[in-house]
Each structure stands twice: as C-alpha cells, then as structure tokens.
Structure 1
C-alpha cells in the first residue's frame, strides 16, 4: 500500500489552503512570496499570480515593512514570531491583524524560509472596543448612581460593585466585591432573607428582598434590593444584576402610619365600647323609668292610705305600725326618685351653676361624712365658669361619691376633689365645646374590669347586704347625662378610683350668687378676670384669641359670626366684646352698632387686619383697636386697656 502523504499533490494542498479562513503564505530567505492562498490574495485585492515572486516590501508598503522587518529577521533566524498589529490597507484603511511567523527548515535543519499565517481581526477588535466602551459607560453610570449596584455569577461571586456599594460597606470596591454580606444582615432578618434569596435565585426570575443591614458606621438601615437575571450568549442563566436603595425613611413612615392606624383603631374600639355601654344604659334607663313610674303610682296609694290610718287610728300600737310603714313607704319613694334620676325621666332643675363654689360650701358636710381618717384635698380651678347643672342633685352626687370613696378606704386614705375647665373636641359621649370637669379621686381598693363595666347599673353593688342600694352611681350617671354632660370612671385594683363628671358651659352667668353674696361676674372681676365674648368668623384666629384669654384667667364665650355674636351677647353679660372688623354677613361695625344700641357703655375691642381706624371710630367712637398679627401678651394688654374705663 503506498504512503498516503506521498499521494497528495500540490493542487490538493492548494485546495486545502484556499478553503481555510486565514491568510497563508510561504516566504523564502529572499523575502519573496512563493506560495499564497486565496484568502491572502483576496485581502491584497490582487490575483495570486501578481503576488508570487514579489518581495514583501513591495506588498506591505514601506511603513508596514519597516515595522515588521525585525520580526521577519527573527523568524528567518529560526525564532517563531506571534503578534497583533495595525496594517495600512491601500483601500480599506487602517485594519487590525494577528500574525504568526513560523520558521521552516530543510533536512539538515537550516532555515529555508517561513510560513506566514495572518488573520484579519478588525471586526473583533471593534467589538472588543465597543464592549470596553460599553463596560466603561456602565461603570460610569453605576458609580454615579445613588443606589448600590452589583453583578454576580451563579456561584454568588461578584464581578462588579459600584461606589455606593463600597461606600455603604466602608471598604474599597475590591474589598466590597468579596464581602460576605451575611455578616451585615440584622439577626432578626437573617434566616428569612437567606431563604428568600435562595428561592429567588433558584427561580431564575426577578426577585425583591427587604431587610436591615449594618452600615459601615454601625447604623442599621433598611435596604430594598431588586435582582434581575442575566443570560449568556446561548441564553443560559449566568448570574444576576442587582440594585438596592435605602428605604429606612419610608419604613419609619410606614411604622408611624401603622402606629397611628393602631391608635385610631383602639380609639374606634373604645368609642364602640362606649356606644354599646351608652345603649345598654339607655335601655336600662327606659326599663327602670317604667318600673319606677308604676311603682310611684302604687306608693302614692300606699303612702296616702297609711297617712290616713296614722291620723285616724287611736290605738297606740296600731298607730306605731302605721307610722313605721309610712316611713318605709317614704324610703321607697326616695328610691324611686333615684331610679327616675338614673332613667332621666324625672326632670332636673338644670340652670347655670358654679361648680367650684358649690364644692367649697360642701367642705363642712364632707368633713363630717368622711371623718378624720381620710385626708381631704381640694384643687379647685379659680376660673368661675357657669355650667348647666341642678345644684341640689350635684350636691347629692358629690355626697354619694364621697361616701363610696370612704367605704373603699376603710383604713384611711386620701380623697381629692378637683375642678378644671377644658375644651372637648372628639368624644363619643360629649358634643364639642367647653366643659368643667369635676374629678373625685380616692386611694381605695379600686375596681376590677368586670365591676367597672357594671358600675352604673341600678342595684348593682359590691357592698355587703344592707350596706348599699346600688343606686348611688346610677343617680350620678343620670344626673350628668340629663345635664348635657357625662360621667367616666377610671379604676385600678389596689390603687384607687377616679370619677370624672363633665358639665357643659352655660351661655349665661349664674342667676344666683356663687359665694359670699356676690355674683360670678363680681367674683371674676375681683380676681382680675373678665367674661369676654369673642366674635370672629376665622376659626383658627378665634381659637387663638380664646386660648390666650383663658391662659390669663378670663372666661370666654365664642361666636362664629355677627348674628351668632348678637344672640350670645343678648344671653350673657360679658365685660368685654372682641369683634373682628371684617366678617361676611354682618360686619364688625354693624355688630358693634347693635351692641352699643343695647348697652351704650359696653366695652368693645376691635381686632383687624387692615387700617380702618376712621371707619371703626365712626361705628364705635369709644372702642379700642388691636391690629393683626398680635401675640397673647399684646392681646391681654389691649383687653386690660379696654376694660379700664369700666
């Protein structure tokens, strides 16, 4: 069988060389081309026959030849040369090539020439340059972004981290690139975050994570990261590109919102409980009122009959029986009166009343009822604000509460009676407005939650049999509600109980002397206080004026417009009227004219945001003027100046 290599002729070798995508040539020691394939001929854009026998300097051009001459010499000296360089093509301009000069030897080992292998890498170089430019742009964009960014492989190693990433870690980019972030995760978030991260990567889809991480300064910060999958040229998953932003402020706002929602929910639950309690008490009141009404009818017959018997019977023993029975029937009548007070069927004599002076006058009675073992503390607000109440029923309520407090402190304690004026805004039981709160607090045994829930129910009592009827707090509840107010109880076992009664402010002063034969107005003036009617259509300004006056001890009545102001002026006797000059409807001048026509000596203080001094003088020659804006101290000075003539 003949040797296969010897059967291949030159034509076959040339065919193989022409089929290869690289340029091939053989150069002798004389630097002339003795073989070129089609790729090289096409690259030179010449027929193969025009290249064969020509010197390399003729084909390459003087500049390129001179640059490659040392490489030619080295290859012809027996040293293989591999390099990449630019080439000035005559028609295509500057190109990039990759060349391999392979020395060829004869049988004796002498170098007889070299094989040149050349590849055009212009497009490859352009693609590499484009890729590098793209990567550079990405790095510039990533490093200028405020968010942390990174690129990972499937094994979670990171190719790239941006400046924000390194800054958060407090490291160089290279150090941050190999940082184990599990060391920075908050302990409470670590297990969850690792599990979510593993699941997200396994899905091969975008995923989001939220957790707390320790910043380089030690502060825990909430980060939200979004990871997007990245794919290789064949569409295979090769890793993820991630970005994270600091959401600590948003989380804090979310937490605060949740707290507010929880607080509001608790308030609504409390309001619902109060509403259910009010509905329950209303139902009990209707039932109790009906029973008490019918029982009163029966007692009328019983009391009347016993009274006739007691007057006509001559037998001493029978007379004593009738008298005892009559006394018991009258006690029953008092019980029904308390029941009717609870049910609000029995009408109270509600009228303007001063709470603090009433408590002051009860001091001797309370001292006798409570005894020496209980310390009495009186903290009564000096503001003399008239409220709507039945003075007699209020005294009875205070007495009942004092007795309950005494019974809750068998070993002694402290009973504190205090009053204060306050403004009620959002309350399930009370309409918005000004109230006086009467608080009666003891340091006794207190009540548990179940007892507290039933405290106002008629006949409910925790006292021993014969020690109480269970109607005292029921009467207090009915009296407060019928007066347009409310009563609330706070109690803690072993600490004590506080009962707070709320009475709505009356529009006019009390008709009866408050104390010492002097009216409330006289008492207030003696203390340097005054009753002031404020008429201003701007709610915020009106509230500011009211709050400022109250801080200085004055009693304030508010009106939202001129018509309301005139009505309130007619139902009260204010020492001073403060009027906003510019108001819709009735102007300040018109309101002042009406007031002066009713009471020529009435002290008036105008407040105005404009300089209408002449117009004000025409409307009210003796009125004082205070221009907006002003502070509370300036308002008080103006009030004093306006009251001085009076």
Structure 2
C-alpha cells in the first residue's frame, strides 16, 4: 500500500473517456461552441437511439421538438450557457424514432488550460417515468382541489396551526355567506356565536383536535348576515411526513333543517305519549265515575225515601246533608265523565263573539279586587259548533286557575282569533277558533306541565280545589274535536289556548226559524222561547204572510207552523207548498187538536199543544241537526217564489 507521503497517480485522459463511455443512464456528449455534436457516449446512444456515426457533426437541435426549435430554444440554451457558464432545463425531447421523452438537461461550458472556450458539455437524463408520476400526482391534486371546490353542501376549508383560514371552497361560501377574499387570513372563530367565543370554544376545539387528532361538535354558528344556523362541524389535524403540525382541516355542514325535523318528531312523539297517557287515565276515570254514579244513585235514592218515611226533623236534617253530599258527588262525576269524554254534549252552532262577551261577565264576577280583566274579541269570528254551557264552564275554570296563580295584583286576558293549524297542536289541521286565557301569575314548573290535565292533580293548597277544572277543559275541548296548548314560564305567567274547529261554509249566525201562528199571545210566547234558545225568529200571522216572507228572505232553517189558521192557507197547505219549493227546509207543525183529524198532517212531524220549553227545544234540535247547514248569504237560494 502507498505511504502517506506518496502522491496519487493522475488519472489519464483515456481513463476519463472510458468512464464517460461506460455511463448508460445519462447521455453525456460534447458540443462545439456552435452546437454541433463532437462526442457521444453509450448512454446517449441508449437514450436517444442514435449510433455515434449518425450524430457526430450534427447540430444538437435535432433532439428538440419542432415547436421548441421554432421558438429558438436550442440557440437560447447555448447563448445562456456561454454567458452564465451553465444552463439547466426540462422539457420534451425526441428520440431517433420520433418518440418523445421528458428530459432533464444540463449544459456547461468547457475551457482549455489557457481558459479558451473549446465547447460545451451536454448531460441529458430520461425522466419520462418520474415526469409521468409527477403529472399524475399534480392531476390528482388538481382534481382533488376541483372536487373540494365543487362541493356545495359542505364548507371545507383549511386552517393554519394558529386557526387562521388559508383555503375556502364554494360550499363554505354558500353556507357561511363569505367570499374567499373576505375570510382568507382571518381567524375561524368569527363564525362562532358571541357566547361560544366568550367560553373560548374555538381555542378548546383546536386544542382537543391537536391532542386527540380530531374534534367533532354540533352547535349554533353565524353567517355573514348575522343569522344563525345549526352546524355539524369536524376538525382534523394535518401533519407532514415527519409528523410536523401543518394545520387543520375543517368540515362544516348546515343541519338546521334536520335538527328542526328531529325536534318536530320528538315533539310529536311527546304529544302522542301524553295523549296515550291521558286516554288511559280517561278510560280508568270513566269506569270509576260510572260505578261511582251507581253508588250515588243508591245513596241519593235511599235518602229521598228515608225523608218520606221518617218525620223526625233531626233525622231529616241529616238526610238532607246526605242528599246534598250526593249531589256534590254527582257534580264531580259529571266533570270526570267530561274528561273521559263520556258526557254527552248539547252541541249547537253559536256565534262565539256574543258568547264570549257573556262569559266575560261571569269571569269578572269570579275575580278579586286587584286583578284586571282585559279582552280582545273580534266581532267577525266564524261560527263554531259546541256545547255552550261546557264552553262557558271551561273558560270559567281557566279564569279561576289564572286568578289563583296571581298572588297579589295582576291581569287576566281573554283573547280570540282564527288560527290555521298544520298538525302542530295535537295533530290538528284546518281552521280553528283559538280562545286563550293568559295571566301574569306564578307560572307552571316545566316538570308539572304534562300532569295538569290529570283528574284530581292540583298544586293548590288542600281545600282550595278539586283538581277537576283543567280536566274538564281538556275533555270538553277534545270531545269538541279540538285541542289544548299551554305556554308557561315560571314567575312570568301562563297562557292556555283552546282550539275549537270552525264551522265550514256557515255564517256566524244562529239558525233562523219562521214561526207561523195567528194567535197573538201564543205567537209571542213561542217567539220568546225560541229567542231564549238563541234562535233567530221570523213571525208570520198567516200562511199567506209566511209565503210572502219566504219569497223575500234569503234563508230559513226551519218552518214552525200552527195547523189550524183562518184564511185561505192552513198549516198543512203551507207545508206542502214549502216542501215543493224548498225540499231541504225542515217543517214542524203544531196543533191543539189531534193530528190524525187534520188532513195530510201525518205526513209531517207534529208537536202537540200545549208544549213545554224543553219539548219544543228537543223537537227543534232533532230536526235542525238533520237539516243541511245554512250556506253563506251570497250563495243562498232566492226564496220560495
């Protein structure tokens, strides 16, 4: 081995030539200063496809594409290398067979020992495969960017490690309302609500993501216009090949509609469960009330019999107490049956504005000093078909509950309005009269709202109520085809709204009855009875006058006529005339004689004289229920003539 002081033997020129010639992965050759080829190695022959003898003396521009030659790129390369000492480039080159390949090239100037330029060294490497991979990667990245940018249902954007936005897709612009120019470089906390920013939620989200690799949440976010939307957001950490933290990927979706749908579904499920619970309680209550009524009948009947048999005044006083207690129990069972919807309702069509004004007087009498009563009752409310007594009782029960909820001074308001429902209250749909009783009392605790309609449930002190008032309200409203809604806030008050179905294609007026009676006293009594029953009354003193009224009256709902009348037309003849011209109008005749003695009278219903208020009311209700509802005046027929 040579010693440290021995000099290395210089490499000969032939050795360099052998080394260059042996390289096959690179095309290494010399050009003169004009660009003609003066040397050629094996790598050049392999890569470009030319034999040495085919290229020596040719200009190296033969390897350039036609468009590059036209652009003068070979001359530019030589000029740049001579001027700057070297030139590097990438681009398409041509093989001998015309095939293109991607070349990485270097062109360096070569000087002799005296520093004179003697030529240029050209090194070319075939990078076609690497270029194809790079192009595929670039195309993939480009397509990915286009994909992300084209997604409009999701806000997809990037954050730097500090949480500043550095990319923005079309979905982000659509959902949040900002263009990319407005948000790039700003902190993503701008999308959070003030309360979330105050709670440092944006920073905690990034910290959790950095620690766990991912953070997922739902909550309110803010659009550019200030409106809120319910967002489902995911943040994921982005790291480089060596694990360095590069930033975060943020994906946000607007799920406001889905959240609203879920909430409506939950509310509907809760309403169904509540309805099922009250239905079960109602069945149990109805059965108990039925059995209890049997017991009360025995107690009341036995007390009545005992009072007739025992003359002792002391015993009679005790029996009267028993009878009064039985009567009180009867009232309680009646309310229970109303809740269970087993109490028959005396339904008739009413004009609610008038009825509510009368109810206001009853409510006012039940209030103590210091509680103001107000109302908003439009005069043109549509007609409803209800049991008026039960409606008044329901509103009075609500008013009493409202009164008891007000500890000192306060206000109770009775309101009425027409509402169109689409299933949001007890699944009801259509037009409803909304009757609301509002108070400024203590409110109902949320945990008790689902129980307030249960029979005997009460929050009042012992002895201040039976707990049946609201159960009556619930049973009456449901039996009438409606529903109940409660809105209450503890310490602020409560509003209970009854929804009762509006009568369709019916004027907000009471049925109109034509009374035909020649006896003045009897006519006056009959008209007074009918008006007390809330009917609208027309009076004719004879059959001929009745026909004249029918010709000029838009509509009547029933004809109530005496049979025996002086003049040319009696009651039966009048009835026959009405039947021919107005077959839809019901007819009720009355007589003090036997109906069998009146020719043709048996073809019509007859009420014998003398008749009572209750008998007249029952016969009218029977025939009016069978009759078709009155049409609006504009669509009514033109009378009998």
Tell me the TM-score normalised to structure 1 length.
0.51
Q: For 2:535, which of 523, 531, 536 is the aligned residue?
A: 523
1:644 aligns with 2:639: yes
1:295 aligns with 2:299: yes
**Residues 599-631 of structure 1, C-alpha deviation per residue, up to 9 Å, x if partnerless?**
3232669xxxxxxxxxxxxxxxxxxxxxxxxxx
* CA 423–83 in structure 1, closer or farther in 2 if over 3 Å, else same: closer
Q: For 1:120, which of 119, 125, 132 is the aligned residue?
A: 125
* CA 57–34 in structure 1, closer or farther in 2 if over 3 Å, else same: closer
User: Distance between the aligned counterparts of 2:165 and 2:368, measured in 1?
Assistant: 83
User: Distance between the aligned counterparts of 2:483 and 2:76, measured in 1?
Assistant: 110
Greater displacement, 140-149 / 370-379: 370-379
User: Distance between the aligned counterparts of 2:285 and 2:147, measured in 1?
Assistant: 69
* CA 500–82 in structure 1, closer or farther in 2 if over 3 Å, else same: closer
Counting only pairs closer than 5 Å after superposition, residues 268-307 of structure 1 correspond to structure 2 as: 268=272, 270-272=274-276, 274-275=278-279, 277-279=281-283, 281-282=285-286, 284-286=288-290, 288-296=292-300, 298-300=302-304, 302-307=306-311
Counting only pairs closer than 5 Å after superposition, residues 181-260 of structure 1 correspond to structure 2 as: 181-186=188-193, 188=196, 190-191=202-203, 193-195=205-207, 197-198=209-210, 202=213, 244=251, 247-248=253-254, 251-260=255-264
**Residues 489-519 of structure 1, C-alpha deviation per residue, up to 9 Å, x if partnerless?**
99999999999999999xx989998972336
* CA 273–400 in structure 1, closer or farther in 2 if over 3 Å, else same: closer
**2:606 maps to which residue?**
none
User: Distance between the aligned counterparts of 2:98 and 2:145, measured in 1?
Assistant: 34
User: 1:273 Cα deviation (Å)?
Assistant: 5.4
User: 1:118 Cα deviation (Å)?
Assistant: 1.3
**2:271 maps to which residue?**
267
User: Distance between the aligned counterparts of 1:71 and 1:418, measured in 2?
Assistant: 93
**Residues 196-238 of structure 1, C-alpha deviation per residue, up to 9 Å, x if partnerless?**
64367x37xxx97766665555555666677899999x99999
Three-state SS of the structure 2 residue aligned to 1:58 is coil
User: Distance between the aligned counterparts of 1:395 and 1:599, measured in 2?
Assistant: 38
Q: Is the 8 A contact 1:86 1:97 kept in 2?
A: no
* CA 413–366 in structure 1, closer or farther in 2 if over 3 Å, else same: farther
User: Distance between the aligned counterparts of 2:126 and 2:582, measured in 1?
Assistant: 105
User: 1:119 Cα deviation (Å)?
Assistant: 0.9
**1:18 maps to which residue?**
21
**Residues 406-428 of structure 1, C-alpha deviation per residue, up to 9 Å, x if partnerless?**
99999999999999999999999
**Residues 361-417 of structure 1, C-alpha deviation per residue, up to 9 Å, x if partnerless?**
x99x989x989999999999999988679x9x9999999999999999999999999
**1:101 maps to which residue?**
108
**Residues 102-137 of structure 1, C-alpha deviation per residue, up to 9 Å, x if partnerless?**
42433xx34373562411346279538845973795
Three-state SS of the structure 2 residue aligned to 1:645 is coil
User: 1:7 Cα deviation (Å)?
Assistant: 6.8
Tell me the TM-score normalised to structure 2 length.
0.51
Q: CA RMSD in A?
A: 7.5
Three-state SS of the structure 2 residue aligned to 1:599 is helix
Three-state SS of the structure 1 residue aligned to 2:528 is coil
Q: For 2:324, which of 322, 334, 342 is the aligned residue?
A: 334
1:602 aligns with 2:609: no
* CA 42–223 in structure 1, closer or farther in 2 if over 3 Å, else same: same
Counting only pairs closer than 5 Å after superposition, residues 32-43 of structure 1 correspond to structure 2 as: 36-43=40-47
1:141 aligns with 2:146: yes
User: Distance between the aligned counterparts of 1:70 and 1:442, measured in 2?
Assistant: 92
* CA 28–400 in structure 1, closer or farther in 2 if over 3 Å, else same: closer
* CA 494–297 in structure 1, closer or farther in 2 if over 3 Å, else same: farther
Q: Is the 8 A contact 2:21 2:42 kept in 1?
A: yes
Q: Is the 8 A contact 1:229 1:241 kept in 2?
A: yes
Q: Is the 8 A contact 1:388 1:504 kept in 2?
A: no
Counting only pairs closer than 5 Å after superposition, residues 550-565 of structure 1 correspond to structure 2 as: none
* CA 427–252 in structure 1, closer or farther in 2 if over 3 Å, else same: closer
**Residues 151-208 of structure 1, C-alpha deviation per residue, up to 9 Å, x if partnerless?**
78999998865577689544549x82x44434444452525642564367x37xxx97
Counting only pairs closer than 5 Å after superposition, residues 396-545 of structure 1 correspond to structure 2 as: 516-518=528-530, 523-524=535-536
1:6 aligns with 2:2: no
Three-state SS of the structure 2 residue aligned to 1:16 is helix
**Residues 515-560 of structure 1, C-alpha deviation per residue, up to 9 Å, x if partnerless?**
7233689932559xxxxxxxxxxxxxxxxxxxxxxxxx999xxxxx
**2:85 maps to which residue?**
80
Q: Is the 8 A contact 2:37 2:59 kept in 1?
A: no
* CA 372–127 in structure 1, closer or farther in 2 if over 3 Å, else same: closer
Q: Is the 8 A contact 1:484 1:503 kept in 2?
A: no
User: Distance between the aligned counterparts of 2:398 and 2:236, measured in 1?
Assistant: 71
Q: Is the 8 A contact 1:72 1:101 kept in 2?
A: no
Three-state SS of the structure 2 residue aligned to 1:517 is helix
Aligned length: 514
User: Distance between the aligned counterparts of 1:155 and 1:408, measured in 2?
Assistant: 55
User: Distance between the aligned counterparts of 1:158 and 1:424, measured in 2?
Assistant: 46
1:91 aligns with 2:103: no
User: 1:39 Cα deviation (Å)?
Assistant: 1.6
**2:58 maps to which residue?**
58
Q: Is the 8 A contact 1:400 1:472 kept in 2?
A: no
Q: Is the 8 A contact 1:149 1:243 kept in 2?
A: yes
* CA 291–114 in structure 1, closer or farther in 2 if over 3 Å, else same: same
* CA 198–182 in structure 1, closer or farther in 2 if over 3 Å, else same: farther
Three-state SS of the structure 2 residue aligned to 1:303 is helix
User: Distance between the aligned counterparts of 1:154 and 1:446, measured in 2?
Assistant: 52
* CA 496–523 in structure 1, closer or farther in 2 if over 3 Å, else same: same
**Residues 12-70 of structure 1, C-alpha deviation per residue, up to 9 Å, x if partnerless?**
5444323433233456899997764322344565555x48xx9x643647898997678
Three-state SS of the structure 2 residue aligned to 1:261 is helix
User: Distance between the aligned counterparts of 1:501 and 1:31, measured in 2?
Assistant: 99
Q: Which runs of 5+ in 1 are unaligned?
A: 308-321, 528-552, 556-571, 576-594, 606-634
